[in-house]
Amino acid sequence: MTDSPVDAAGLRRRTRDLLAAHPPATTDRPDFLRARFDAGLAWVHYPEGLGGLGAPRSLQAVVDAELEAAGAPDNDPRRIGIGLGMVAPTILRHGTEEQKRRHLRPLWTGEEVWCQLFSEPGAGSDLAALGTRAVRDGDHWVVDGQKVWTSSAHLARWAILIARTDPGVPKHQGITYFLCDMTDPGVEVRPLRQITGEAEFNEVFLTGVRIPDSHRLGGIGDGWRVARTTLMNERVSIGGMRLPREGGMIGPVARTWRERPELRTHDLHQRLLKLWVEAEVARLTGERLRQQLVAGQPGPEGSGMKLAFARLNQEISGLEVELLGEEGLLYDDWRMRRPELVDFTGRDAGYRYLRSKGNSIEGGTSEVLLNIVAERVLGLPAEPRTDKDVAWKDLAK
C-alpha cells in the first residue's frame, strides 16, 4: 500500500490501492473488511493502527463513495450499531492500548457483536442507582446482578457493563466500568417479548461472573465518567443518524400520500406538511451536530436530537396509521422472533406504530433528556436532588 497524504486526493489513491489489492468481486467479505481496517480506511479519523489515519472525520465520505462505486461490502452498520456508535468511542477515549488493539478491529468488521449492560429493573431512568455488584477477588472481579432492556444480547460476544464496586459512597462515585465476555460462565440471556411480538431486547442475569481486572475500562470508581462518554455517543447515534431527504419514518408515509390519493384529507395534509418540515429540520440539525463532532467529543446537544427523534417517530407513525385507516391496524407477523436489527422502514405501518413507542425510553427516557437539555444546554437551575451526597447503601431501595 503506497503512502499518501491525509487529504481527499490521498485518500482516493489509498482506497484505489486497497481495491486493486483486494478486488471486492474475488475477495471474501471478512478478508476485505480486515484489509480495509488495516489500511486505515475503516474510520479515517481514528488513529493510525486502529483503523484510521488521524484524518478529519469529514473525509470519511470520500472513502465511502469510492468503495460504494466499486461495489465493496460494508460492515453491516445497523447490525453492529451498538459497537460502532457507543463502544468504540468509549474504548478509544478510556481504554488501554491493549484494549484498543484487541477490540476495535473485530468490533468494526462485525466479527464480534457488542451489547450494553447498563439498565436494571430498579435503575433505568436513574441509571446511577444501579445495584449490580462487582467485588474484587485478586486479579478478578466477581459480578452478581440483573440487567434489562439489553438489545442484541442474544447475538453479542462482548458487553460493556457498569457495576457498583463501592456501596459506601454516593451513587455516582461507586461505579466501575467493565468489558464483559458474554460467553463466560454465569452469564444468562433471556428474551423479553415486546408489544411487536419480537424479542430484540433481553434481560441478562449475572451470577458469580469472573471478570479479569484487565477488562476494566477506566479507574476503579470512575465508571460514571466513562459511562457518560457512552451515553452521549448513544444519543447522537440514535437521534443524529445520517439520513437522506425523506429518510427514516417520514419516507413511507410520504410515499403513501403520493401513491394513494383516495386516502387524502385536508387535515391530514396539513399535519403531514408540518411533520415533513420538522423531519427535514431534524435531519439538517443532525448533520450540523455531526460536523461539530469532528472537532471533539459529543456534548449534551445529542440529547436534544434524541428527543426530537422519539417525538417525530411517534407522531409520524400515528399519522400513517390514521392515513391508512383500517389498513393501518393490520400487523404482518406476531411470531416470536429474535431479530438481528430493528427495521423501521422494511415493515408495515402497524409495526412502525408499535415499535416507535420504545423510542422515548431507549437511549435515555425523554423525561431525563429534557432535564439534561434544560440544565446543560439552556443553563436552567438544576432539579433538587436530595440523594446527591448520600451513600448508595443508605438510599431507599
State the catalytic residues: 234
Helix, strand or coil, per DSSP, at residue 209? strand
Give the Cα separation of 30 and 34 in Å (integer): 6
Q: Do 105 and 34 touch, CB atoms closer than 8 A?
A: yes
Apex 170 CA angle, 167 and 175, nearest 5: 60
- What are the grid coordinates assigned to 170, written together? 454516593
Q: Is 265 exposed, middle or buried (0-12, 13-18, 19+ CB in 10 A)?
A: exposed
Question: What percent of the chain is helix, strand and coil (3-state, nearest 5)?
Answer: 45, 15, 40
Q: Please, which residues bridge with residue 211 across strands?
A: 141
Give the Cα separation of 208 and 111 in Å (integer): 27
DSSP string computed for 265-289: -HHHHHHHHHHHHHHHHHHHHHHHH
Give per-residue burial for 277-300: e unless 16+ CB within 10 Å, then b.
ebbeebbebbeebbeebeeeebeb
- What are the grid coordinates assigned to 279, written together? 423531519
